[in-house]
Amino acid sequence: MQEQFHNEGVEITAIYHCPHHPDFTGECECRKPRPKMLLDAAQTYEIDMAHSLLIGDSERDIKAAIAAGIGTTVLLSSQEVLSTQASRVVQELSCLY
């Protein structure tokens, strides 16, 4: 994934993921919709969350972003979305240009 982005001129500073699954490891603080991973990144990289944008493909992503104080949220969905807390819904990233 990083190589594909790099080939398009996009450098990824860090990748965060939750290694837990509630069915096997129980609840954790880093699994979305909890915002811990986003807040950790904000602290590590001094990110101004209010002036940041999160693009996610699930409502859990959007909820985590809102809980972390991210100012703009975009839901990427190929299906019709009837209800979302996202600031905007797009079917493909090129719609953001």
- The whole domain housing 7 covers 2-92
Q: What is the mean pLDDT of residues 37-63?
A: 97
**pLDDT digits over 51-94, tens only?**
999 999 999 999 999 999 999 999 999 899 999 999 999 999 88
**pLDDT digits over 26-36, tens only?**
999 999 999 99
The answer to whether residue 30 is domain-embedded is yes
Note the pLDDT of residue 68. 98
CATH of the domain at 63: 3.40.50.1000
Record the tokens describing residue 1, joined without a space: 């994934």
User: Strands, E, within the chain: which ranges?
Assistant: 53-56, 72-76, 88-90
The answer to whether residue 97 is domain-embedded is no
The answer to whether residue 85 is domain-embedded is yes
Q: Which candidate, 96, 15, 30, 27, places its Cα nearest to that of 68?
A: 30
The answer to whether residue 17 is domain-embedded is yes
Record the tokens describing residue 36, joined without a space: 């811990």
Q: Give every strand in the sheet of 72-76, ordered side by side.
A: 53-56, 72-76, 88-90
Domain count, the chain: 1
